[in-house]
Each structure stands twice: as C-alpha cells, then as structure tokens.
Amino acid sequence: MNRSLGDVAGELLIVSQFTLYADSTRGNRPSYSEAAKPDIAERLYTFFVSACRAKGFRVATGIFQAPMQVQLVNEGPVTIMYDSES
C-alpha cells in the first residue's frame, strides 16, 4: 500500500457497479436512490476510463450495465470505508 499503481506497473480493471453508491445508514437494505441515472453514470464511467488511459495506465473494462462475473485475487485484507460527505 506504500507504492502507487505506476510504481508497480500495475493495470486497472474498471467495471461499472451501481452498488458503490449505496446508502446503508438506515434500515436493513441499502438505498441507491441517490445514484446517478444510467445515462449520466455511463458518461462518468467513460470519462474515468479515458482519464486513467490518458495517465498511461493499461485499462481493461467491463460492459456498462451488463451482468458480469469478475474473479480476482486481492492482496490484503484491506477494507476502506470512504464517505465523501463527512
């Protein structure tokens, strides 16, 4: 965790996942009501992919809004909770 993606010549797999914007502060089920609408979300997704490629990173992508099965191996364990509003 002390080295950047560039330091390790890493690559990115970027897939769209609406669950990343879940509000789980109330009740038993997360709410996605504040997530971007699909047309806006796809533009943001495409922009992010383009920005990463413009920085010189190798990027593989999924298909926006497609059901996908992704397998990966994490080096960890690490869990990072990020709340941009607090």
Q: Per-residue confidence at 85, pLDDT binned at 50, 70, 90?
A: low
Output the six-digit token pair for 16. 């769209």
Catalytic entry in 19, 25, 71, 79: 19
Per the CB < 8 A criterion, the answer to whether 15 and 70 are in contact is yes
Report the domain count for the chain. 1
Per the structure, the complete domain to which residue 77 belongs is given by 1-86
17 is catalytic: yes
pLDDT tens track for 29-50: 888 787 888 899 899 999 999 9
Phi, psi of 15 (to 5 degrees): -125, 145
Instruction: Specify the pTM.
Output: 0.70
The CATH number of whichever domain residue 49 belongs to comes to: 3.50.80.10
Active-site residue flag, 18 = yes
- Band of the pLDDT at 82, cuts 50, 70, 90? low
Average pLDDT over residues 12-26: 76
pLDDT at 72: 75
Q: How far is C-alpha 81 from the chain's CA centre?
A: 13
Q: What is the dihedral of CA 74, 79, 85, 86, to 10 degrees?
A: -150
